[in-house]
Amino acid sequence: MPTKFFTTPGKFYRGNLHTHSTRSDGRLEPQEVCRRYRVEGYDFIALTDHFIGLFDYPIVDTTGFRSDGFTTILGAELHTGTMENGHLWHLLAVGLPSCFTPPDAPSFRPVKGSESASHLAQRARDAGAFVAIAHPHWSGLTMTDARSITAAHAVEVYNHGCVVDNDRGEGFLTLEHLLNEGRHLNLIATDDAHFNTSDYFGGWVKVKATENTPESLLEALKAGAYYSSTGPDIRDIRITKTRVEVDCSPATSILVQGHGSPMASLHGEAMTTSDISLEKLDASPWIRITVIDRAGKRAWSNPIWVGE
């Protein structure tokens, strides 16, 4: 029962799905943002400026900044309504068409009676976007909030900008509560780069696609054919009913997590492969793998529903 994304044709492409420019509250022009990611060795980015009236509801046309070996996906960070804490919703929509109808979001202040986040997320998904719940820790998201977004493909579990700026960059607890309730969601690591601090080149996805085009990348993202990382590579995952094997770049820890607190792990030096028993996780409907290197950097697989 191998995981689907390591057996399908194609290769892995590195990309950032959450980025800002001067079209909203970022410091750099869109062309310079794209240039920096390209020369840093990224294969693609999504420029996701804040989709509010203050910035004229931007879905920035980055098609002119594509080049051989580097592409862009149109997108935006969507805002509407209010969460339980009274603050504005933040949702990522990657692959959003330029004609997408804005919600009533004139600024970063919530508008009473505006479109619900659930409805906005569904509209974005129906329009062809890959939708993610953004930075749940930073947002102060409650589980009632999280449950309401039924159209999401993923939860942003690592946001480098939030880690750098306020140490609220994780979303694993939100994701795992939803998984434990039976929600089939994936996870993403991103930068949320504004280039005002060192909030860039810290979190990314590695998408396995047949080619480095927006269409192929989006198809793979929606299918969950990717993993997320702040450093290590996951090269293969093979699963049987009782064991999981992981091939990766040199690691000091390889962890298998699932429903509740039970987990399995292997610790060592410069490990590039592992064979771990799933006995402690035999009651869990899902598992996910974490790879940690000597520098403390991590890579995360998407949740794998072992009974399906």
Residue 82 pLDDT class (50, 70, 90 cuts): very high
Q: Is pLDDT at 91 greater than 80 in this prediction?
A: yes
* Mean of pLDDT values over 152-174: 98
For CA atoms 28, 30, 32, 36, the dihedral sign is positive
Residue 236 pLDDT class (50, 70, 90 cuts): very high
CATH superfamily of 4-229: Metal-dependent hydrolases (3.20.20.140)
Residue 208: helix, strand or coil by DSSP? strand
- The hierarchical CATH code for the domain 234-305 is 2.60.40
Per-residue DSSP letters for 76-133? Answer: EEE--S--TTSPPP-EEEET--TTPPP-S-SSSS--TTPPPHHHHHHHHHHTT-EEEE
Q: Which of 140, 133, 148, 138 is nearest to 85 (CA)?
A: 140
Q: Is pLDDT at 1 greater than 60 in this prediction?
A: no
Residue 6 pLDDT class (50, 70, 90 cuts): confident
Average pLDDT for the chain = 96
Please give the model's pTM, rounded to 2 decimal places: 0.97
Give me the pLDDT at residue 9, please.
Answer: 87
Q: Is pLDDT at 208 greater than 60 in this prediction?
A: yes
| Fold agreement between 4-229 and 234-305 | no
pLDDT tens per residue, range 94-142: 999 999 999 999 999 999 999 999 999 999 999 999 999 999 999 999 9
Q: Where in the chain are the domains?
A: 4-229, 234-305
Give me the pLDDT at residue 3, please.
Answer: 66
C-beta of residue 5 within 8 angstroms of C-beta of residue 226: yes
Q: Is pLDDT at 4 greater than 90 in this prediction?
A: no
Residue 136's Cβ-count burial label (10 Å; 0-12, 13-18, 19+) is buried
pLDDT tens per residue, range 57-75: 999 999 999 999 999 999 9
Give the CA count within 13 Å in the CB-facing half-sphere of 109. Answer: 1
Pairing of strands 234-239, 298-300: unpaired
Q: Which helix (H) or strand (E) is 165 found in, with range?
A: helix 160-166
* Mean of pLDDT values over 188-192: 98
**To which residue do tokens 């699963």 refer?**
239
